[in-house]
Amino acid sequence: MADLEEAQISLILALNHPTAVITHRVSAGRQLISFPQILRNPQEAYSISKTTIDLIPLLSSRSLQHSDKRHLLSAAVGLSCDAAAIALHAEKGPLIATEFLETGRGIIADALFERSEISILQLKHPELAGSLLELLEKLNLPPSRVFAHADNPAMPPDTEGSRRLEALAKLHEILKNIRSCQGFDRFFLPTSEADLLEATASGPIMIINDSIIEPILDRLGFTTPPLDNKWPYIWWIPTVLLAQFPLHVAGHHLRCTSETALDRVILSYSSSIKAINHPRQREHRGSVPRIPSNAAVVTMQRIPKQGTLKFASVEADAVLAICQTIGLTPLKPQPYKSPVLSALEHCHIFHFAGHGSTHPGEPLHSQLLLEDWETQPLTVESLLEINLSSNPPFLAYLSACGTGQVINKTSIDENIHLASAYQLAGFRHVIGTLWSVDDKISVDMARMTYEFLRDEGMTDDSVSRGLHHATRQLRDRWIEAELGAVTKGLQHLRLERDVQLDDVEVERRQAHWIPYVHYGI
């Protein structure tokens, strides 16, 4: 026991050492949080948790590539959930626990949200934005290059450190001036209690940890389908491994009762509360809404070595026809990376029907497969480099396998996948998939969703309502088929839109309406 206590003291010293390497401090915090006796002193456990969580964003320097950030942040996977549990045990309340979850997850996304905030600042207050960017550029450099120019040698360490502290003081002063401007009072600040309350204005937000869906819905009073067709909205923010589960369709569907989430509420997903609030706050700061004009539809019916999607072109034609009735000009960019990226900058709706590839080891390399996918891949990483937030497009519909899927468990807290990449690039809404999808069902899902948008109007709530309507329609069709299959035998459908690694045809019985999900406000 003495050795264990000595180890704990050493780890606390390492965690709180102000000049130690951040990764070492976070590692010390992780080991302390996992100590068997950590909860014997709840207040000390809370202090350790708070210090550790506050260090996690520092793992992601602005100067690092996204892949390097992801690698460093993998050391902190799951820490925010453990810290939130400790905060609740220490009776700090749900607000503090939620702040821990917000601070310790989605760090790469937060950096992109800050990029968007700077873009709006440049439009409203260009001088302040210029001063801010100049200081950030200096502070982004590695320590040996801080304030050193290409034609000047690096400064001695002591001079370099004092200059860096001087720049930090200037940065704090500039941030103070920015926050005094109307609409920028929360600029570069973490999620506050007011932000949490604002995010729930349109419906409850559930940060799912280890709770079961039905008790949550029951507690909120959502026990039956709405009688007046006024569906309540809920945003799910699943953590750790629950991010891989279809929480939006939890329940007993074949009982034909209301014992399902789908029959009680409309569910959307988000990676964080900030991801919900950011588009709303962007409007308040004066970003210019994109005038509805174009619908860009990209289809890849056949990819060498990946098989043919017989219904991809049928889906594309159906979407284009409906978009024309809405008043959108149809665009069919060539299925290559450069034309597609160009289309993203000018379209109101982007629809992709084809193959998706979820990279098992590096989620930043997940991609939509285009003609040049082997030489110029349209990856998550390439999408994170573009910024459409100053003139945000409305909807990205990614009708391919696994566009909302994370396979690499070390990246689960960052929630990096194709759907989140399009949202971070600036799209207000994204429809993606949690796993493999059926080629023919994809046509019906897209057609029904766009028909709903046509009939109800392209508003923020019509996207999730449209997908919910289409999902319920296809679910009901599936129930009828399943109940009939008791006497007719089971049907087996091939999953076609996933990248095929070999010629083995995998057949399995599955409810193909399940994996389609909505991300957005």
Query: Tell me: the pLDDT tens digits for 429-468?
Result: 999 999 999 999 999 999 999 999 999 999 999 999 999 9
Residue 518 confidence class, pLDDT cut points 50, 70, 90: very high
**Lowest pLDDT segment from 391-395, 442-446, 479-483:** 479-483
Instruction: Tell me, yes or no, whether 293 and 374 share the same domain.
Output: yes
Instruction: Tell me, yes or no, whether 347 and 474 share the same domain.
Output: yes
Distances (CA, A) of 195 to 172, 181, 201, 277, 285: 22, 18, 10, 7, 15
Instruction: Tell me, yes or no, whether 81 and 172 share the same domain.
Output: no
Element (H, E) at 453: helix 439-456
Q: Is residue 246 part of a domain?
A: no
The last residue of one of the domains, among 127, 146, 179, is 179
Instruction: Tell me, yes or no, whether 171 and 316 share the same domain.
Output: no
User: What's residue 162's pLDDT?
Assistant: 66
- For the cut 50, the answer to whether the pLDDT of residue 320 exceeds it is yes
User: What's residue 51's pLDDT?
Assistant: 94
Instruction: Tell me, yes or no, whether 40 and 175 share the same domain.
Output: no
The last residue of one of the domains, among 144, 164, 179, is 179
> With b meaning 16 or more CB within 10 Å and e meaning fewer, what string describes 180-210?
eeeebeebbeebeeebbebbeebbbbbbbee
Element (H, E) at 318: helix 312-326
Which has more confidence, 419 or 191? Answer: 419
Instruction: Tell me, yes or no, whether 288 and 147 share the same domain.
Output: no
Instruction: Tell me, yes or no, whether 57 and 171 share the same domain.
Output: no
The last residue of one of the domains, among 159, 179, 199, is 179
pTM over 0.85, yes/no: no
Domains in the chain, number: 3
List the strands of the sheet with 367-368, edge to edge.
Answer: 356-357, 367-368, 378-379
Instruction: Tell me, yes or no, whether 466 and 374 share the same domain.
Output: yes
User: What's residue 204's pLDDT?
Assistant: 60
Instruction: Tell me, yes or no, whether 91 and 149 share the same domain.
Output: no
| Chain CA centroid to CA 365, Å | 16
In the chain, what percentage of residues exceed pLDDT 90? 43
Q: Is residue 212 part of a domain?
A: no
Query: Tell me: the pLDDT tens digits for 276-293?
Result: 887 776 664 444 455 658
User: What's residue 145's pLDDT?
Assistant: 36
* Mean pLDDT of the residues in the chain: 82
Residue 490 confidence class, pLDDT cut points 50, 70, 90: very low
Instruction: Tell me, yes or no, whether 10 and 137 share the same domain.
Output: no
Query: Tell me: the pLDDT tens digits for 71-105?
Result: 777 778 889 999 999 999 999 998 899 889 888 88
Token pair 């207000």 is found at 428
Amino acid at 111: A
Q: How far apart are CA 273 and CA 101, in angstroms?
A: 10
Write the DSSP assignment of 118-183 as a string of letters: HHHHHHH-HHHHHHHHHHHHHHHS-GGGTT--TTSPPPPHHHHHHHHHHHHHHHHHHHHHHHTSTT
Instruction: Tell me, yes or no, whether 76 and 122 share the same domain.
Output: no
User: What's residue 303's pLDDT?
Assistant: 81
How many other CB atoms are found less than 10 A from the CB of residue 460?
15
Q: How far apart are CA 521 and CA 519, in angstroms?
A: 7
Helices (H) and strands (E) in the chain, counts: 18, 16
Q: Is residue 254 part of a domain?
A: no
Overall average pLDDT of the 345-349 stretch = 94
Instruction: Tell me, yes or no, whether 315 and 412 share the same domain.
Output: yes
Distances (CA, A) of 381 to 65, 322, 435: 9, 31, 20
Parent domain of 352: 273-489+494-520
Residue 159 confidence class, pLDDT cut points 50, 70, 90: low
Amino acid at 277: N
User: What's residue 115's pLDDT?
Assistant: 74
